[in-house]
A and B are shown apart, each in its own frame.
Chain A
Amino acid sequence: MKSRRRLAVLALVTASAFVTLLGQLWYLQVVGGERLRELSERNRIRVRAVPAPRGILYDRHGLPLVENRPTFTLSLVPREIENREAVLGTLASLLGVPAEELAERLEGVPPSSSWPVRVRRNLSPEEVARVEEWKLALPGVMVEAEPQRVYQDGRFAAHLLGYIREASKAELKEQGRRPGDLVGQSGLERLLDHVLRGQDGGEQFEVDAQGHPVQVLRREEPTPGAHVITTVDKRIQEVAERAMAGKNGAVVVLDPRSGDLLALVSTPAFNLDAFTGPLDRESWLRLIRDPATPLLNRVFQGEYAPGSLFKLVVAAAALEEGLFTPFDRLQCPESVEIGRSRFRNWEKVDQGSMTLYEALIHSCNTFFYQLGLRVGIERMAHYARAFGFGSPVGIMFPGERAGFVPTPEWKKATSRGRWFPGDTANTAIGQGQVLVTPLQVARFMAVLASDGILWKPRLVNRVQDHAGQIIRTEPSLPAGRVGLSPLVFQFLRRALSGVVNDGGTGQGARLADVEVGGKTATSQNTSGRNRGAGDHAWFAAIAPVESPEVVVVVLVEHGGMGGQIAAPLAGQILRGIFLEKRAALAARGDHRDPG
């Protein structure tokens, strides 16, 4: 086997590899040595990330909901700092902040690191000038311009947009994140963080002894974050927020023709600005412990008794099952006796016999106690679930509540005892254990408005990259159909109109030129937070009744009577919406026909 020739070949291959290496060394050390020595002498190369601007969130008409503006960030390059304490001390006095706060940002960063560490954001121009003046005494200090979120009004759509914060320790473990990177923490900013954040670029550049950049050696451009076109209508959102000013509650505006969410309001809101800067312990605790729970998004995290809104479910069930017709009548006394208890109406007088239409527009409780007993809890629960109650709407945000539809089985299983006819009566007027979220109510109203489409409401229309290329579109999706007779839907819409326009409980929502339909509800606050602090006021509206274009749901916590409090607010919002729509229509008309 031993072959001298083959061994010689191997030795020759190895020798030529060594010669090649020597050639490469010659090239680096002798030919290029001068230049490379100079580079190493001047110490010389620095790196920095070129932050990618975060994508913009737009409303459905292309109006920005948040914007970026260049802001100044102060960074330190640990390796360049000779005396950490002295540098931090000087900076602290220049910026008027405690040195410990700056030192905290450098914690755990090895002193040999050449990556700049962001120590303070949002420097004012004066602060920038002061730092630049002292530059010579501050080796390793850099001030850079970075695009950052700026809010005109930090409370506008706060829950919807969500806040961003510098990445926490846990978030830093994720690939490609560096300390000081901003991460969406709630709302759309969190939901779409992966598309909004883009990808940071990087730069290798030469610096002189003072640390001033001399020349960019290599640069990789950042990929800006993608833009997100939401279904929200900024103007409608503004109108709804204005209406809710000073009140706690929620507003949902939804287009029943597409399932698009046009506005989502939860009050009180928090201030997005409070989160971008350094948030101290005190203000954090204030937010967390605020009894008005500003961080809670009442639209889908708040569960409330639906009150009289639930009468629509009972009516639908009774009509569809043929247990009751629009021509039948029932009494509306001051009270009825069920089992051993008396169940009262909210009007203290006997109103005589009523049709279903009348009972709905006057919201007679005693009528619906009786009707509810005829329908029975099983059928009531079945219809409520078909309308989407008791299960999450699927709005993509974390923490959505499902609401609750009680049944005798549930009561038994949780050892709350036997189901009594009184329970059925209570459920029929939306009291007792039944719970809904404002978003579920909006979806339910859209079912009535659209002859049965159960939407999976849409919040994002499409995602575009910075060049305008569409990356992703989100189609609007019906999650199901509620297959009732069209006659039932028609009857219910007529009744909704009657509530507003035929002397019903919701006259406060009436508009001069648009036929509004709706249902009032005053839900007793018998469980959960702030029990007994006053009734919640509901109004759920569709408009125009003939061919509904919007659903508006208003909830005012502890507001009082739905008709007195919520209905006028809904009216105000609807007026704004239709003014807006008419203006848009006119604008489009102008566009088509410039003459």
Chain B
Amino acid sequence: MIQVDRRLLLNLDWALLAFSLAVVSIGWVTLVTVSAYGFRGGLPLRQLLWIALGLVVLVILASIDYRVWVTYAPLLYGIGIFLLGMVLVWGRSAQGARRWLAVGGVGFQPTELFKVIFILILAAALGGRRWATWSWGSLMVPLGLLLLPVVLILKQPDLGTAIILLPVAAGMLFAAGTRGRNLGLLALGGVVASPLLWIFLKDYQRERLLVYLDPGRDPLGTAWNVAQSKIAIGSGMVWGKGLFGGTQSRLAFLPERHTDFVFSVFAEEWGFVGCLLLLAGYFVIVMRGFEIAEKARDDLGHLLAVGATTLLAAQVCVNIGMATGFLPVVGLPLPFMSYGGSAMLSSLMTIGLLLNVRMRRFMFP
């Protein structure tokens, strides 16, 4: 099935791949410094294995025509939903949330895989339609495809992933040509329904949101995390404290510093200049993604590229927004940088998807 076609290799987007790998490397070096601070020694090596595995998956994903993938989307979606259900029943729990499935002794987060599946199924659902004839009835299908996993993911609960599916869906619906007025009404409906979300949340999640609205509320818990993260980032100043110079990180002031708050470690060491460069790197990747969407051969490729790009962009913005105290702490990895195998796989898979669309832009069926 995997066919190496010279034309495909010629059209490979080397720039996208290079920038992604550059950010992955920056992330890995940051992990090395975190573990050099005497925290979780074996981390960088394990992350390296995940990166290698992620690249293999990336190649497989890119090699098979995306239209083939989309034909399998309903099946994949079914499997994804099944896995999300399994997590609720058999999942391993950590800190009050069931997010992990153990596969041969290795923990795996189905939500991460599901992000990619979600892009595929939504593209499949939206791909064949004429945008001028969009009606409310036809909106119900994508809406259903969105709500089912969101409810399951909220049950785990994993607020971050559940929330991140929303901009992805919004971006793809918008790109598919849904009328602006209808999208606006949907957004309004979401706002009205958001109190419903409240009942799904665990106490600690409600607390985090309340803390965001009123930072004086919990000086020891979440507000403490955010305050420490802000101190770490700010104390990096313009030039940073240098590699291995992060005192905040070393003194264990920083919570979750290898996963959700890895950006703070980086910012402390590399300062505003480093952050500027890192954001530029992400920005290039994202803009490249939109360009791939623009140049895609067909609607399907267009939608896939928009989905993949909005997913990456939204994750970057929410994660960094969270670390800088700009957004509430919902718990979400930073693509390519946070420690975590499932997250690394899913980020590299999005890149694989983008490469896939790009490679086949000149091929006609």
* Chain B associates with chain A: yes
Chain B residue nearest to A110 (CB atoms) is B252
Q: Chain A: which residue is nearest B286 at the CB level? A: A14
Contacting residues, chain A, for B238 (C-beta < 8 A): 29-30, 33
Name the one of B218, B247, B286, B321 contacting A40, with C-beta atoms under 8 angstroms. B247
Q: Which of A22, A28, A36, A43 has the most CB of B within 10 A?
A: A28
Please give, as numbers and ranges, the residues of chain B lying within 8 Å of A25 by CB-CB distance.
Answer: 233, 267, 272, 275-276, 279, 320, 324
Closest Cβ–Cβ distance, residue A5 to chain B (whole Å): 11
The answer to whether A35 and B251 touch (CB under 8 A), given A1-B176, A10-B290, A18-B317, is no
Query: Contact at A33–B321, with CB atoms within 8 Å?
Result: no
A21-B320 in contact (CB<8A): yes
Q: By the criterion CB–CB under 8 Å, are B302 and A29 in contact?
A: no
Measured CB to CB, the nearest residue on chain A to B326 is: A24
**Interface membership of A6, Cβ < 8 A:** yes
List, in ascending order, chain A residues with CB within 8 A of B223's CB. Answer: 218
Pairwise interchain contact B175-A10, C-beta atoms closer than 8 A? yes
CB proximity of B135 to chain A, nearest CB, Å: 16
Question: A6 and B174: CB pair below 8 A?
Answer: yes
A26 surroundings in chain B (CB, below 8 A): 272
- Of B131, B223, B231, B321, which is in contact with the most chain A CB atoms at under 10 Å from its CB? B231
Interface centre among B130, B253, B282 (most CB of A within 10 A): B253
Contact A18:B233 (CB < 8 A) given known A10-B175, A11-B287, A204-B219? no
Taking a contact as CB atoms under 8 Å apart, the answer to whether A7 and B219 are in contact is: no
List residues of chain B with CB within 8 A of the CB of A35.
234
Chain A, range 348-374, C-beta contacts under 8 Å to B: none
Q: Which of B298-340 contact A (CB under 8 A)?
A: 299, 302-303, 306, 309-310, 313, 317, 320-321, 324-326
Are A9 and B174 in touch, CB under 8 angstroms? yes
B230 within 8 A of A: yes
Specify which of A3, A17, A39 is in contact with B175 (CB 8 Å cutoff).
Answer: A3
The answer on a CB contact under 8 Å between A33 and B236 is: yes
A217 at the interface (CB under 8 A from B): yes
On chain A, the residues within 8 Å of B94 by CB distance are: none
Kindly list chain A residues whose C-beta atoms are within 8 Å of the C-beta of B306.
7, 10
Q: In B206-232, which residues have CB < 8 Å from any A CB?
A: 216-220, 223-224, 227-228, 230-232
A33/B252 in contact, CB under 8 A = no
* B293 within 8 Å of A (CB atoms): yes
In the complex, which residues of chain B have a beta carbon less than 8 angstroms from the beta carbon of A90?
A: none
The distance in angstroms between the C-alpha atoms of A25 and B280, with both chains bound, is 13
CA distance A266 to B326 in the complex (A): 61
Q: Compute how far the CA of A40 lies from the CA of B276 in the bound complex, rounded to whole angstroms.
A: 22
A112 touches B294 (CB 8 A): no
- Decide if A43 touches B317 in the complex (CB within 8 Å): no
Cβ B234 vs Cβ A29 within 8 A: yes
Q: Please tell me if the beta carbons of A40 and B248 are within 8 angstroms of each other in the complex.
A: yes
Give the chain A neighbours of B160 by CB distance below 8 A: none
CB-defined contacts of A40 to chain B, threshold 8 Å: 231-232, 234-235, 247-248, 253, 268
Q: Is A173 interfacial (CB-CB < 8 Å)?
A: no
Query: Bound complex: CA of A28 vs CA of B267, how far in Å?
Result: 10
State the Cβ distance, A30 to closest chain B Cβ, in Å: 6
- Residue A220 CB within 8 A of the other chain: yes
Given known pairs A43-B251, A112-B252, the reply for A7 and B216 (CB within 8 Å) is no
Contacts of A220 in B (CB 8 A): 216-220
**In terms of DSSP, what is the predominant structure of the interface of chain A?**
helix
Interface size on A, residues (CB 8 A): 46
User: Chain B's nearest CB lies how many Å from the CB of A109?
Assistant: 13
Q: Which of A24, A35, A114 has the most CB of B within 10 A?
A: A24
Cβ < 8 Å to B, chain A residues 215-233? 217-220
CB–CB B230/A218 < 8 A: no
A33/B227 in contact, CB under 8 A: no
State the CA gap A79–B237 with chains docked (Å): 26
The residues of B that contact A22 with a CB separation of less than 8 Å are 275-276, 279
Q: By the criterion CB–CB under 8 Å, are A29 and B219 in contact?
A: no
Give the docked Cα–Cα distance between A43 and B217 (Å). Answer: 23
A32 to B238 Cα, complex, angstroms? 11
Find chain A residues with CB under 8 A from B176 CB.
1
With A3-B175, A7-B293, A33-B238 as contacts: A28 and B131 at CB distance below 8 Å: no
Distance in angstroms between the alpha carbons of A28 and B271 in the assembled complex = 10
A4 within 8 A of B: yes
Q: Is B121 on the interface with A (CB-CB < 8 A)?
A: no
**Chain B residue with Cβ nearest A200:** B220
Contact B290 A11, beta carbon cutoff 8 Å: yes
For A7, give its contact among B175, B224, B276, B317 (CB under 8 Å): B175
- Bound CA–CA A218/B222 (angstroms): 13
**Cα distance A219–B223 when bound, in Å?**
12
The answer to whether A21 and B231 touch across the interface, beta carbons within 8 angstroms, is no
**CB-CB contacts below 8 Å: B21-80 with A:** 39
Which A residues are in CB contact (< 8 Å) with B218?
202, 220
Q: Are B290 and A29 in contact (CB under 8 A)?
A: no
Asked if B14 is at the interface of the complex by the 8 Å CB criterion, the answer is no
Q: 17 new A-B pairs (CB below 8 Å) besides A18-B279, A45-B253, A204-B224?
A: A2-B299, A7-B306, A18-B317, A21-B321, A21-B324, A25-B233, A25-B320, A25-B324, A29-B267, A33-B236, A37-B237, A40-B248, A40-B268, A44-B231, A49-B220, A202-B220, A204-B219
**Can you list 9 A-B contacts (CB < 8 A)?**
A1-B130, A3-B175, A7-B294, A17-B313, A25-B267, A29-B237, A29-B267, A34-B237, A112-B252
4 closest cross-chain pairs (CB), A and B: A36-B234, A218-B219, A33-B237, A40-B235
Q: Which residue numbers of A lie inside 8 Å of B, CB to CB?
A: 1-4, 6-7, 9-11, 14-15, 17-18, 20-22, 24-26, 28-30, 32-37, 39-41, 43-45, 47, 49, 79, 112, 114, 202-204, 217-220
